[in-house]
Amino acid sequence: MAESSESKLRLIERHIRAFQNFPKEGILFRDICPILKNPACLTAVMDLLEEHVRNNHQQVDLIVGLDARGFLFGPLLAQRLGVGFVLVRKKGKLPGATVSVAYNLEYGKAEVEVQEDAVTAGQKVLIIDDLLATGGTMHAACELMKKQQAEVLGCMVIVELKDLKGTDRLKDQKVFSLIQY
């Protein structure tokens, strides 16, 4: 008998650890590493992400994963859906011609990039990462995909930190999160 979505979510939630004051004082860090260590839990994550995509997006051409934890879930989801996977990396990490977008962080600036030929104009993409906090990196990835003339269907994360209001930065996007804190 198939496991229910609710029981899968409970399993996932049990495998997310909280660490006080990491990486600095005042931060409550949500650690997804135990999900990766547990095959049943990782399967539950992938089942729920796949179910969401199949129920909400009739056509997807590419899954776009954010550096670095989007690289853990994105290829697995892409394989299940039978579509390609594209990496969005921090500036300077990709070979060949790239397209980049700079964005502001609370403590400075950052830049993400994609290989120039990774996405074709008009392709329908879903962007994935492990966690949505303030939304800066996810927003930059959306802007990068728009720069490539791709159609961003939505953004997906395992964990959303609601208090940090990351969805406010992604007003133009549908955001799907498995677990919210």
- By annotation, the residues acting in catalysis are 69, 106
- How buried is 173 (Cβ within 10 angstroms: 0-12 exposed, 13-18 middle, 19+ buried)? middle
Residue 7 CA: distances (Å) to CA of 10, 47, 119: 5, 12, 36
How far is the C-alpha of 107 from the C-alpha of 102, rounded, in Å? 14
Alpha helices in 5-134 (DSSP H): 5-14, 33-37, 39-56, 70-81
- For residue 180, report the phi and psi dihedrals to the nearest 5 degrees: -120, 140
124, β-bridge pairs: 151
